Amino acid sequence: MQINILGPVSISANGEHHTIRANKVRAFLALLALEAGRAVSNEDLTDELWSGHMVGNTRNALQAHATRLRKVIVGSAHQSQGASVLRAVHNGYLLEVPPERVDSNRFLDLAARGAAELSVRPERALELLQQALGLWQGPALLDAGDGLRARGAAALLDERRLTAWENLVSAYLAVGDDAGAIAELRQLVARYPLRERFCELLMLALYRTGRQGEALVLFQWARRRLDEELGIRPGALLQRRHTEILAQDPSLTLPSAVMPGRREPAAAGN
């Protein structure tokens, strides 16, 4: 059984995908999945599901949602494992599944491994990051309700997704697939026009494919967007990239142009 929260909250088992219709049951599962293998108190569950609104008997309400969730688990797995997977513990509930059974944990693991490989084995990084991003089915915790924990976790996961995309296109550039990087980056720049790193990497990819003019036009477009929407100037890294492209800086062809923290080996005799 797999728990999915990178998109709509759902359960996958035996090759089948099972959605959860009841809003509170989805929120209940989402919070337990975020703490897979660890108990969540009734108080935290109550705060998440009802956000401070008065409820007559929260313990009974939680028991009712737990019963409904167990039925979903049993139905999805086609076996009587609902009670063992979802357990009532002292003053709370526990979703007893390994953390890797939750797609967000698999994503974070794959993304971290991909980031670690980026500067040493970019081909492997590309593979890992594609796997990580392939787990997403929409915005994180899309229908998990408005509880503070769900919204906080969703914001964190969405930010990690953007970082994984940055690393993915960096891996494309590092292996010399500039066209692949451009294809990804055009979509990302259109979707996140204020994310300067995406614009910077697209400028680099365009320059490397002989489209210096397009790269410079892109910088002017980004500068206008930042000014109109936020009233700020481009950051230092984006401005430096613009200056390097204007000067046709030879360093733009080096791996360090993609990964600024990486140093090029010194020439022999230096």
Does a structural domain hold residue 132? no
* Confidence at residue 256, expressed as pLDDT on a 0 to 100 scale: 87
Q: What is the per-residue pLDDT across 18-49, written as a single tens digit (0 to 9) for each? A: 889 999 999 999 999 999 999 999 999 999 99
β 10-13/39-41 pair status: unpaired
Q: Which domain holds residue 52?
A: 2-101
Does a structural domain hold residue 146? no
Whether 266 has a pLDDT exceeding 60, the answer reads no
Q: What percent of the chain has pLDDT over 90?
A: 81
* Confidence at residue 77, expressed as pLDDT on a 0 to 100 scale: 62
Q: Report long-range pairs for 89-94 (Cβ below 8 Å, ≥24 apart).
A: 89/39, 90/39, 91/41, 91/42, 91/43, 92/39, 92/40, 92/41, 92/42, 92/44, 92/45, 93/32, 93/39, 93/40, 93/42, 93/45, 93/62, 93/66, 94/32, 94/37, 94/38, 94/39, 94/40
Q: Domain boundary at 101, 117, 137, which? A: 101
Q: What is the per-residue pLDDT across 58-111, written as a single tens digit (0 to 9) for each? A: 889 999 999 999 988 887 765 555 557 899 999 999 999 999 999 999 999 999
* Confidence at residue 267, expressed as pLDDT on a 0 to 100 scale: 37
Tell me the pLDDT of the chain averaged across its residues. 91
| CATH number of the structural domain spanning residue 229 | 1.25.40.10
Does a structural domain hold residue 41? yes
Classified as helix, coil or strand, 13 is strand
Q: Domain boundary at 51, 80, 101, which? A: 101
Q: How far is CA 40 from the centre of its chain?
A: 24
Query: CB of 171 within 8 A of CB of 126?
Result: yes
Does a structural domain hold residue 244? yes
Whether 188 has a pLDDT exceeding 60, the answer reads yes
Does a structural domain hold residue 122? no
Whether 269 has a pLDDT exceeding 50, the answer reads no
Does a structural domain hold residue 43? yes
The beta-strand segments (E) located in the chain are 2-4, 10-13, 16-19, 39-41, 86-89, 92-95
Count of domains observed in the chain: 2
Q: Domain boundary at 75, 101, 127, which? A: 101
| CATH number of the structural domain spanning residue 85 | 1.10.10.10
* Confidence at residue 134, expressed as pLDDT on a 0 to 100 scale: 98
Place 268 in a pLDDT band, splitting at 50, 70 and 90. very low
Query: What's the CA gap between 153 and 209, in Å, rounded?
Result: 39
